Amino acid sequence: MAELSIFNSGIRNPLMVILALTERECPDAFDEIERSVNYIDCTINQFDKGWDESNKIFSFLKNIMVLLFIGKMTKLKIILFFRNN
């Protein structure tokens, strides 16, 4: 998750600089640049949401795998117990 924050900052920070410089140095182009910056920002937000959902799904599947493994180990122990007795 830290890598994602670094990635987002690496994109968003320069965009804000571009936006500020455009507003100061080239106000005629500001509206168009601002729309583009907002579009990129929305795209990054969608990427963040997708990343969060992927992490939730991965955690869920990992937990299921652990439970299945524990269940199989328990069955194996029961089978071995009855074979030995």
11-47 confidence digits (pLDDT tens): 889 999 999 999 999 999 999 999 999 999 999 888 8
Structure tokens at 7: 């990635």
Residue 1 has pLDDT above 80, yes or no: no
| Closest alpha carbon to 6 in 44, 36, 43 | 44
How many domains does one find in the chain? 1
Q: pTM for the full model?
A: 0.60
User: With contact defined as beta carbons under 8 Å apart, do 37 and 45 qualify?
Assistant: no
Residue with the bigger pLDDT between 57 and 38: it is: 38
User: Which positions ≥6 away from 10 have C-beta within 8 Å?
Assistant: none
Chain position carrying tokens 């328990």: 74
pLDDT given for residue 76 in this prediction? 62
Burial class (CB in 10 A: 0-12, 13-18, 19+), 33: middle
Owning domain of residue 12: 1-84
Q: For residue 60, what pLDDT band results from cuts at 50, 70 and 90?
A: confident
